[in-house]
A and B are shown apart, each in its own frame.
Chain A
């Protein structure tokens, strides 16, 4: 596709792209922002209505319910669950026997040096 330039001067073209480009980027992300601010709670609400029937009130369903329940609380709870499941210490092996260590040769315990020292 051959681009059609509106102006012959590249700088003018550049300014146009600068302004329209920035505008489009902003509007795109603004659209996303607005959707997740307003559209998504609405969608979730409709979903709840479809699945659970209309007996619930809006304020029970909206994401505002989660306002108090922050990520920090979630982290604390999950840390506690993790500790409970994996880091417990009360099921440790209670058999306390001293395992026999394999005897490795060491010059410090060598018989031969003892023999020599007696000689000298």
Chain B
């Protein structure tokens, strides 16, 4: 300790001596050395203090304290709330913790022009954000999802695929709502996809439609809504266990809730292998714009089901999806820089997002009831699984399971609910492709 103090004492002495020494070197006459030194040391003492103050002031101007705005503080608080929700209530912690810390990172106030912020070209965060803006991360996430997902319950009971389509009414309903609120067409399309309850799809579509770069036919530029849309989609996905149960209880009667579905038949490996190839062909021929998403989804699934590429599937569903999720979460969080994020549009998007989840859930539930009109006896489906049609894999399926168990202790709906759940992913990707082909 003593040594350190002595060392720093010497260093500070040397630093404070330097101007003095410099002055003595400059002084021409050597006879007046002592007086000049004493005088100039006084002068330098004064200017040194003022310079030091100037330096400190300059430094202060660069700190967050000098540049902080109310928006930043609000957003930082929101980030902390995200982290709290994720840790305390276990709401999608894998997403909310990266996003929450990203929100904090993105809202640390800074002086513009030093390549710090996520929106400044050339900054590190900006390079990472590139994957969001250009829609690179979402297909990679879909590859991992494909390598994780077991489509066998869907193959065993193909009619449940329609529930995934029914829930997409949330996408188009929200699209219309956004148009009513005065958003232009591409923006409304990007907002609508929140109803697909699928984070990667929402980011993919908004990066193509509402990226702040595209120019509309009337000459105006679209707004950059990627941040608000992604945050809305992910936060409502995390809130699925809160949003869905009341709607389920409202629309589905007690009698319908206890319907027991017969267990799905076992699916052969051949069928599982054929599924990704055929589904890829059929869906992408219908909606080629969704190719990056659906192509990767079914590619990942084939890796899993082929039985020969277990190594690749293992990487896709563990390490790779983790890496991309980390980058995606933190950059999407950081993109909520207050001066760009806190606008009236963002608030409207959040409102529309909540409505879209409600519409999507209702669409799925009501369509399940509608399907039941045509099904008889053993084949009847429990309308609760319609709610799983909003993708939000696997949270909405879990919600269905817990609601099913509340109604009847021995009614396990998880496997049945996974079918509309995964078809919801396919459905929302198709819907994104359709919106893209109409408005892109």
The chain A residues found within 8 Å of chain B, CB to CB, are 1-3, 5, 10-11, 13-15, 17-18, 20-22, 24-37, 39-40, 43-44, 47, 63, 66-67, 69-74
Contact = CB atoms under 8 A, between A and B. Distances in A.
Contacts of A37: 158-159
Interface stretch (B301-309, B344-352, B429-437): B429-437
Interface residues of B, number: 54
B176 interface: yes
A105 to B, nearest CB: 34
B155 A29 contact: no
A11 B439 CA distance: 14
A32 B283 contact: yes
B264 A70 contact: yes
A25 B430 contact: yes
A101 B39 CA distance: 80
B266 A31 contact: no
Contacts of A44: 268, 270-271
Contacts of A21: 168, 171-172, 175, 431, 434-435, 438
A2 B439 CA distance: 8
A33 B266 contact: no
Interface string B255-282: 0000000111111101100110011001
A26 B165 contact: yes
B415 A27 contact: no
A107 B230 CA distance: 61
A11 B427 CA distance: 24
B381 interface: no
B430 A1 contact: no
B158 A33 contact: yes
Interface of B: 152-156, 158-159, 161-162, 164-166, 168-169, 171-173, 175-176, 179-180, 184-185, 188-189, 217, 262-268, 270-271, 274-275, 278-279, 282-283, 286-287, 415, 423, 426-427, 430-431, 434-435, 438-440
B275 A63 contact: no
B266 A70 contact: yes
Contact of B185 (A10, A47, A70): A10
A1 B287 contact: no
Nearest to B169: A22
Given A14-B188, A18-B176, A25-B168, A71 B266 contact: yes
B426 A29 contact: yes
A63 B271 CA distance: 10
B179 A40 contact: no
- The residue among B180, B266, B287, B426 with the most chain A CB atoms within 10 A of its own CB is B266
B265 A35 contact: no
Given A69-B266, A71-B156, 11 more contacts: A11-B176, A13-B185, A17-B189, A18-B176, A24-B286, A27-B286, A29-B164, A30-B161, A47-B270, A70-B265, A71-B153
